[in-house]
Structure formats: C-alpha cells, structure tokens
Amino acid sequence: MSGTFVGMPAFPKAARDAVRDTTLRGNLRHATHTIRDKRAKAVAELDDWQQLREAGKRIKDLTLRHLDRHLLRLEESVTAAGGTVHWAADAAEANRIVGDLVKATGETEVVKVKSMATQEIGLNEALAAEGIHAYETDLAELIVQLGDDRPSHILVPAIHRNRAEIRAIFRDRMAGWGRPAPEGLTDNPADLAEAARLHLREKFLRAKVGISGANFMVAETGTLVVFESEGNGRMCLTLPETLISVVGIEKTVPTWQDLEVFLQTLPRSSTAERMNPYTSMWTGTADGDGPQTFHLVLLDNGRTDALADDVGRQALRCIRCSACLNVCPVYERAGGHAYGSVYPGPIGAILTPQLRGTTSEIDASLPYASSLCGACYEVCPVAIDIPEVLVHLREKVADRGGPGHRLEKAAMKAATWAMDHPGAMAAGERAASRTRALHPRRPPGAGAWTDSRDLPELPAEPFRDWWRKNRT
C-alpha cells in the first residue's frame, strides 16, 4: 500500500475486500461501537445540545455566506499580529508555497501536527520530492507513516490497526526513521506509547520548522486554534522557530465568542470528552516565546466550488469531529480506505466529490456509498444533512451520464412511464403474478441481489386485483 489514493477502484469493489477481511471488520466494529456509545453519553450530559447544534450550524452558515469578508479580516488580523498570509488556490500551489518557505529556512526536516488539510494536498509527498522529511507526530499518524499505510479515519487514522499490528510496525520500522523501538517491546498500550514518546522526543527537540493545520481561525483576532489529545501538537506548535499552518478557508469563524459553541460540541462529538486535553491557541508571533516566524497558507482546493452549490455547501460546515464515521454502518463494514480519500465515511462521501469533482471512478461512486439511513445526520454537531447532499450529488453524477448511468437513466425513465400509466403497471404486475411458478428465487443475472439473499415469492395476485374483486 502506498501513501496516496491515486487510481483507487470504485467504492463497491474496494469495500468488497474490506468486508471479507474479518480482522479489519473486528477492529473497526470494536472501535466504532466503543466510541459511538461514549459519545452518546457525553452528549446526553448537555441539556442544551440541540441548541448548541443549531448555533454551530448558524455560525458556520453565516460565516460561509460572507466568507470573502471574513477572510480579508483574518488576513488583516494575522498580519497585524506578526504573521504572513499566503493564498493557495489548489494543492499544487499550497505545496509549492510550503516547500519554498521550508527551503528558505535551510532546513530539511519538519515536524507535523496532525492535519487533514496537509494530507488532502499530499504535502508530505510534495516535500519529500524537494528533499524535505516531514515527520508525523500524532501517535496514530506516526503508526500510519511508519507502516507506509494510509489513514482510515479522520480522528483515529490507525483505527484499522490493533495492538499487535502496531507493535510489529514499531519494532520493524522505527529504526529506519530515527530512534529504534526499545528491546522487547510488548503490545501493552503503555509500552507502545512510551516507545512513541522516546522516538518523537528526539524529533521535537531537533526540529526548527513545524507544520500544522487548524480547527478554527478567528477572523477578528487572527487567532488559530488546534484541538488535540496528546500534547504532541503543542510541542510542534511551540518548540520550532518557524511555524507554517495550512488551513482550509472554511475553518474561519468571525469572532472569539463563536468558539464557545465549538469548544463544547467538538470534543464531545469526537473523543466523547467534555473538553479535550490540549487546546492550543496562537495569534501571530510573540517576542521570545514560541515560533518567531509564522506563516498561514489559506487553502481553497475546491472549496469555493462547493460554496457555489446551494445544497452541497453545507458540507463546508464540517468541523471534522468524525462522529458521522463512528455511527455509519457502511463505514463500519467497508473501512476508511475504501473511500479513496483522506476524508472517509459519510463526510468523505459528500466532501470528496465536491472537492475533487466526479470524473474518476472512485469519486463518482462515493455518493452511492450509503444506504441513506440518516445516522450521520442525527449525530452531526453542525447538522449537515448528509443524506440530502448524497442524493443531490447522485443527481449530478447521473446527469453527467457515463456508460452505467445512461442505461440506468433509461430504466428510470421507463419505470416512471409505467408508474405514470397505472394500466401498464397493473398489467405488468398481473403478468408477473400469473407466471410466478416460473420465477426462480435465485435467477441468473440477479447476482448483486441473490448472492446472499433470496427474492421474495411473488403473490398469486397483486393487491389491486384483490381490491377489485373484494371491495368494488
């Protein structure tokens, strides 16, 4: 497995392998059910949860409506506080900006805070091409990086790995990246954490450049905010001399007070904690304290396209809590890799096709990777109606056509015609009923249905015939 998602097969095919991998399914089932139950308890503690959810939704919607203004305000505030703001229209531009900034420091190593935006643009690979090593310092990201693997969850990127697998990765791979794993490493979580701590400490103390994303950017003050659990992020945010943050433009909130809502909803939705252990906030630079140079790279990369879509834009409210992944029955069985993007699960299924378009096979298949059960919408702390957006994106995919969809469209048109001509529909039903003795319950060609399910037996007569005979 390599670190990128290029050339992924469509979701159904990728999911098929995951469904058959019983270790993976066991890992995922255990992990998602544990965190889903904890989240439900943490949320139930707040009487005003529904109001907080509504407030979060409105703050984000209002901000998105005037995003241009808020971004300019943000740029002003960050600049006034001693930072430098860069605008990146796409992944290539963002990678180029960051690469140039790192090269200007003369360094060839950077430490990274866990960040979805930098994964989205493939920053590590771009830096590697420039001869710069980027070290992931979040424990789960470290596991993914050492394992030459891909993240499969927004919050817990190594959710698909169990303890024994992690031990093997540390034992075999740490030496190639820096300090080796201690002799006789066990799969006891405390031992694994200690091995990671020792391995990472060396990197924190050496690094001169840190790279992060951010959960929020406050326009009025120019403050960036990172929520995390381990404290490794704070090391990267405070020890290096230069800090570069790559942040999607939709992470803006207008005022400091807006954070009040998300400080409550994000930790409870993501790690089921009342408050996350580390909330780091920084505003530009401060003399003699922390990084003396700060760069903010504002990333578009498809976001303004999503913003232009009046149904799809609600996906930009996402605060990346991953609650929707943890309740999703499809994610639980297909795993994160099947989604072919750093954004897996329900949010990935609506965000990826908007950021990347639907020209590739995998991206066009994502809006269909859902039974529309609505569990994601129910838990989303910013009330993104994910099923609504999925159906909306299906319409876009279907409209564009493509071989499978042309046939499907013809079938749908035919079905609508029949349904709009009750006489034709009734005749069809009657014919099916009369010939029912001839219908096998596992007919050839119906494989997608009948590999694991039998078809129902057809009745002797449709309902409308019973009605005609008995009630008219």
Partner 1 sequence: MRVALFVTCVNDAVYPATGIATVKLLERLGVEVDFPAGQTCCGQPQFNTGYRHETEPLVRRTGRVFEGYDHVVTPSGSCVAMIRDNYPRIGRRAAAEGRGGELAEVARSLVPRVYELTEFLVDVLGVTDVGAYFPHTVTYHPSCHGLRLLGLGDRPRRLLEAVKGLELRELPGAEECCGFGGTFAVKNPDVSAAMGTDKVRNAVATGADVLCGADNSCLMHIGGILHRQDAPLRALHIAEILLSTEAEPHL
Site for ligand SF4 in 335-364 (CB under 6 A): 347
Interface positions with partner 1 (CB under 8 A): 11-12, 15-16, 19-20, 25, 329-330, 333-334, 367-375, 377-378, 388, 391, 393-399, 408-409, 412-413, 415-416, 418-420, 422, 425, 429, 432-433, 441, 447-449, 451-456, 458-459, 461-464, 466-467, 471
Per-residue binding letters, 215-234, with ligand SF4 (x by CB under 6 A): --------------------
Q: Closest Cα to residue 203, out of 138, 121, 126?
A: 138
Q: CB under 8 Å to 297, separation ≥6 — which residues? A: 86, 87, 88, 94, 97, 98, 244, 245, 246, 247
- Choose among ligand SF4, partner 1, none what residue 381 binds, the Cβ cut-off being 5 to 8 Å by kind: ligand SF4
Nearest distance in Å: CB 346, ligand SF4: 6
Fill in the per-residue mask, 299 to 338: x = in contact with ligand SF4 (CB under 6 A), - = not in contact. Answer: -------------------xxxxxxx--------------
Instruction: Tell me which residue has tokens 């207008």.
Output: 254
The one among 147, 157, 340, 381 contacting ligand SF4 by CB under 6 A:
381
Sheet containing 109-112: order of strands: 84-88, 293-299, 242-248, 209-212, 109-112, 133-136
Which residues between 86 and 125 bind ligand SF4 (CB under 6 A)?
A: none
Which SS3 state, helix, strand or coil, does residue 308 take? coil
Match 């430098």 to its residue by tokens.
84
The answer for residues whose C-beta is within 8 angstroms of residue 471's C-beta and 6 or more apart is none
146: Cα separation from own chain's centroid: 21
Return the range that interacts with ligand SF4 (CB under 6 A); candidates 132-140, 228-236, 333-341, 375-383: 375-383
Quick one: CA dihedral 149, 338, 405, 400, positive or negative?
negative
Q: Which does 12 bind (CB under 5 to 8 A by kind): partner 1, ligand SF4, none?
A: partner 1
Contact of residue 415 among partner 1, ligand SF4, none (CB under 5-8 Å per partner type)? partner 1
CA nearest neighbour of 327 among 29, 127, 48: 29
- Taking the least distance from each CB to partner 1, the nearer of 312 and 367 is 367
- DSSP H helix total and E strand total for the chain: 23, 10
CB 369 to ligand SF4: min, Å: 14
Residue 148: burial class (beta carbons within 10 Å; 0-12, 13-18, 19+) = exposed
85, 219, 380, 393: residue in contact with ligand SF4 (rule CB under 6 A): 380
Min dist CB 314 to partner 1, Å, is 13
- The whole-angstrom separation of Cα 285 and Cα 3 is 33
Select 282 or 377, whichever has its Cβ closest to ligand SF4.
Answer: 377
- Cβ within 8 Å of residue 463, ≥6 positions away: none
Instruction: State the minimum distance, in angstroms, from the CB of residue 122 to partner 1.
Output: 27
Q: Name the pairing type of β-strands 223-228 and 216-218.
A: antiparallel
| Among partner 1, ligand SF4, none, partner that 467 touches (CB below 5 to 8 angstroms by kind) | partner 1
Are the beta carbons of 141 and 115 closer than 8 angstroms?
no
Q: Which of partner 1, ligand SF4, none has residue 324 at its interface (CB below 5 to 8 Å by kind)?
A: ligand SF4
Of the two residues 20 and 287, which places its CB atom closer to partner 1 in the complex? Answer: 20
Report the residue number, 98 or 369, with the smaller CB distance to ligand SF4.
369
Strands 109-112 and 133-136: parallel
Q: Is 251 in the site for ligand SF4 (CB under 6 A)?
A: no
Nearer to ligand SF4, 172 or 378 (CB): 378
Q: Which of residues 266-305 bind ligand SF4 (CB under 6 A)?
A: 269
* DSSP states along 45-86: T-TTHHHHHHHHHHHHHHHHHTHHHHHHHHHHHHHHTT-EEE
Of 384, 348, 381, nearest to 367 by C-alpha is 348
Query: What residues make contact with ligand SF4 under the rule CB under 6 A?
Result: 269, 318-324, 347, 379-382, 384
